[in-house]
Each structure stands twice: as structure tokens, then as C-alpha cells.
Amino acid sequence: MDAQTIASYDRSVPRYTSYPTAAQFHGAVGAVQHKAWLADLERSCSTVYLHVPFCARLCWYCACHTAAMNRVDSLGAYAHALAKEIDLVAEAVPGLMVGQIQWGGGTPSQLGSANLVEVAKRLAGRFDRRSGSETSMEVDPRYCDDEFVSTMKAIGVDRVSLGVQDFDLDVQKAINRLQSVEDTASAIARIRAAGIARVNIDLVYGLPKQTPETLARTLDAALELAPDRFAVFAYAHVPWMKARQRLIDAESLPGAADRAAMAELVAQRLVEGGYTRIGLDHYARPGDPLATAADRGRLRRSFQGYVVVDQPSVVGLGASAISSLPRGYTQNVADPARYRTYMEAGCFASVRGLQFAGEDRLRGEIIEKLMCSFSVDLGDVCRRHGASTESFLSEVAGLPKLVSDGLVWRDGETLHVTEHGRPLLRFVCAAFDAHLGHVDGRHSRGI
């Protein structure tokens, strides 16, 4: 990426795991809407996402809703609250079938084996499960002993996403996460020995003290571990949102030019290592379901990143969990104690969200197709939503600049992202975002 392009696009932009984005959520959508919108899922199949907002200790780079928690009684109470929310959903949606199950956090293992089993049993007892669907879990390799691996196997986990971020010691010290290659390799060996064959590795570029050279060594070490997939995210430095990030020395963060070089390095090394590039930041082995879905135009984008699902709805369970429903998005209260209070009262904990209106679905489909396929048939999408293609495009003010900058090109009614534009895909999507406020700093940097 040349210096002029870097300077032009070194600004904030959403990640587009949804449209409209969570930045547009508001308090006028709450528990009443959540319950009514859940009813639309009757006799349908949905993904279930369970959020465990706890870790043994906090990593300074993390922008997730999570806190350090080691009290057994509090962890047990949270598991009980999750079970109560499962009951509430089951009562609101008779006949709901569960497809994918995703455990995220935080660190789900922090809940403890007995609590994880309790919640998984409640989920299995209240809903039918679609045959062949996957159960995935985010795992910190530092807390992945034989007992926990046995627990994952017992509750049906068949895909594990291991958080690595970076293997360089200086980088690890700068983000308060010490994790050796050996510890990670041992965790993978235990997981595979238990018969859980699908393993992903998550990495991050743009971290403090990180350079293209240190990242190259991390990529080489990660490739030696031979995971099925990689997810490689750009670090989002948002200390105004997450106080823990204030512990990171901002002067130690790589600049835009180094971040751009790192993004190109990731793509080069992983593709050379035999992985297929999937969307903006995922990589999978040829033949992996994610790669197959991308080839067939069936890849989807959600709050969990790129997914292989044919059921677009997500029921979020737990503190801060987001539900993606036919009429809009809802989000639970983020504070775990307040979440437990709602559950103890037998009430849904949704406190914010957004109802689709106007062109939200039209623009959301365009953005998702761009994020997943780097192209979109604008004519087809507009016609299905009852809109005129040319009239709609005349309102997309940023499109001419994207064309002149060489990020996109039009072939009739189809819009294609160029190879030059791929690293800046989020900016292409932003051109179609009618809600985007141009206030620098609200989102993470786009490079």
C-alpha cells in the first residue's frame, strides 16, 4: 500500500460485523421488543451464542466485555443465570431449533467444568438440535488442562478457537499476556488427542512493540502448529471505551505504514502456507467448510466474524450478548451482576438495540456481500428490495472516490473490490453506511 493511500485512509471505520453497527444501538429497544422479536423464530433454526464475561486475569489489549473473576460462588451464580435465560427463551419461542452453538468470552473455561455442564444440559433439554451442526468454544491455551478438555468433549464441543495474539515476549509483556509456543502446542495436542479435530488460531497485528519482523516469526511459529483456520484481526486501540487499554503505552503502537505492511505480510505468509484467504481477516485450509462456503457464495458475516450458517438469526445469552433477529438487534445489559438480577426476577435483560427501518436491510445485504465476497450484484439486491439501482447509487456519495482511488470498479450493475482495495474493504462498506457519523475515534482505525 503506497504512502498516499495510507495517509488518505488512516482513520476510524466500523468493522461491519453487523449493519447497522452496534454504535447505533439505543435504549428505546429493550426487553419488550426482544421477547416479541424472539417469537418470530418459532419453528425456525438459529445459532445460539453464550457469553462468559470472565477471565482469570485481564489482557490489556482486550476490548471485550469481560472482567477478572475467580470467586466460585459468583461463577456458579452466573451459570445459574445463563440456565434461567435459556428457560426464558424456550418459553418465548416454542419449537425453536438450535443449529450452531458458540461459547465466547472472556474465557469460557473460567466458568468451571461443573457449571459448563449444567448450562449445556439445560440447553440440550430445552431445545432440539439440528443434526450435524457445530459447537465451538473460545479457549485460552494457558487454561486448557486435561479436565477442561474432557469437559469440552462431554458437552459436544467439536471446534476450538485458541487465542494466541502474538508469540513475541516483548509484545506479550506489553499486553499483559505471557503465553509460550510450547504451552499452546501442548493445549492443541490435548485437544486433538481427545478427538476434537477442528482447531483455529486467533492472532492480532498492530499490537504494542510489534513489528513486521516479530510478526513474521509469530506467523512462522503459528503455521508450525497447523490449525485448520486462522483469524487475524487488526488491534483496536480504544482506551476511551476500555480503561484497561490505558495501561498500554500508545507510543509503542506501530504506525499506519507498519500496520499496512503487517496486513500484507499476514496475507502473504498464510497463503504461501497453504491457506485460502476468506473475506477480510480469515484463512482456512482448502476444503474447510469456511473455504467451501466462500467458494459457493454462502459465507455469512456476524458478530462472531465469518461463519458457515444458513440460519441468519442469532440468540445471544449472557451479559452483553447480542441477538440478531428478523426485526433487528437486541443486546443484554453488560454488567454481570445486573444481568443476574434480571434473571433472578424472571425478566429478559435486553437494555438496548435497534429495529430495522428504511433501507437498513438493503444496505446491510450489500455490506455483508462485500465483506464476504468482495463483490456484489447491486442490481439484484436493489430489485429484491424494491429499489432503483441508479437512484440508490446516486445517494452513495463516497463511491466515485473509491473508484478514482482504485479500490473498486463497476461492471454494469456489479461492484467489485480490487486487489488494491481488499485491505481497505471496511472503507468500501462505509460508503453504503447511512448511519455512519464522521466523528473520528468512535471506531478503530481502518488500517
Higher-confidence position of 103 and 393: 103
pLDDT tops 80 at residue 56 = yes
Region 87-92 average pLDDT: 97
Q: What is the predicted pLDDT for the residue at 86?
A: 98
Q: What is the predicted pLDDT for the residue at 299?
A: 92
User: Radius of gyration of the chain from Cα atoms?
Assistant: 21
Per residue in 248-262, is it b (16+ CB within 10 Å) or e — as a string? beeeebbebbbbbbb
Asked if residue 21 belongs to a domain, the reply is: no
Region 245-256 average pLDDT: 94
Cis peptide before 53, with omega less than 30 degrees from 0?
A: no
Burial of 76 (0-12, 13-18, 19+ CB in 10 A): middle
Residues counted in the chain: 447
pLDDT tops 90 at residue 31 = yes
Region of poorest pLDDT, from 47-51, 173-177, 235-239, 310-314: 310-314
Region 241-269 average pLDDT: 94
Q: How far apart are CA 284 and CA 42, in angstroms?
A: 34
Q: Which cell numbers hold the place of 142?
A: 494457558
Q: How far apart are CA 446 and CA 263, in angstroms?
A: 11
Q: What is the predicted pLDDT for the residue at 303?
A: 86
| Contact call for residues 25 and 353 (beta carbons, < 8 A) | yes
Measured CA to CA in angstroms, residue 179 lies from 167, 252, 314, 328 at distances of: 7, 20, 32, 39
Q: What is the pLDDT of residues 357-374, one digit of tens each?
A: 999 999 999 999 999 999
Q: Band of the pLDDT at 249, cuts 50, 70, 90?
A: very high
| Contact call for residues 300 and 328 (beta carbons, < 8 A) | no
pLDDT tops 90 at residue 246 = yes
Q: What is the predicted pLDDT for the residue at 6?
A: 85
Higher-confidence position of 12 and 57: 57
Percent of the chain whose pLDDT exceeds 90: 86
Asked if residue 137 belongs to a domain, the reply is: yes
Q: What is the pLDDT of residues 397-430, one digit of tens each?
A: 889 999 999 999 999 999 999 999 999 999 999 9
Asked if residue 104 belongs to a domain, the reply is: yes
Q: What is the predicted pLDDT for the residue at 69?
A: 92
Q: What is the pLDDT of residues 104-137, one digit of tens each?
A: 999 999 999 999 999 999 999 999 999 989 999 9
In 29-181, at which residue ranges do the beta strands (DSSP E only) sit? 45-52, 54-55, 67-68, 97-105, 128-129, 135-139, 159-165
Asked if residue 385 belongs to a domain, the reply is: no
Q: What is the predicted pLDDT for the residue at 10?
A: 84
Percent of the chain whose pLDDT exceeds 70: 98
Asked if residue 432 belongs to a domain, the reply is: no
Q: How far apart are CA 87 and CA 108, in angstroms?
A: 20
Asked if residue 68 belongs to a domain, the reply is: yes
Amino acid symbol at 148: F
Q: What is the predicted pLDDT for the residue at 262?
A: 96
Measured CA to CA in angstroms, residue 33 lies from 37, 351, 375 at distances of: 6, 10, 34
Which among 1, 2, 23, 5 has a CA at the least distance from the CA of 14?
A: 23
Q: Dihedrals φ, ψ of 75, to 5°?
A: -65, -40
CATH number at residue 109: 3.80.30.20
Give pTM, 2 decimals: 0.94
Q: What is the pLDDT of residues 64-85, one digit of tens each?
A: 889 999 999 999 999 999 999 9
Q: How far apart are CA 269 and CA 172, in angstroms?
A: 21
Q: What is the pLDDT of residues 426-442, one digit of tens each?
A: 999 999 999 987 444 46
pLDDT tops 60 at residue 142 = yes
Q: What is the predicted pLDDT for the residue at 439?
A: 46
pLDDT tops 80 at residue 446 = no
pLDDT tops 90 at residue 344 = yes
Asked if residue 399 belongs to a domain, the reply is: no
Task: Give how many domains the chain has, as a whole number.
Answer: 1
Q: Which domain holds residue 69?
A: 28-355
- Which run of H or E residues covers position 316? strand 314-317
Q: What is the predicted pLDDT for the residue at 442?
A: 60
Q: Which cell numbers hold the place of 170?
A: 516483548
Q: How many CA atoms lie within 13 A of 445 on its CB side?
A: 22
Q: How far apart are CA 219 and CA 228, in angstroms?
A: 14
| Contact call for residues 318 and 82 (beta carbons, < 8 A) | yes
Asked if residue 18 belongs to a domain, the reply is: no
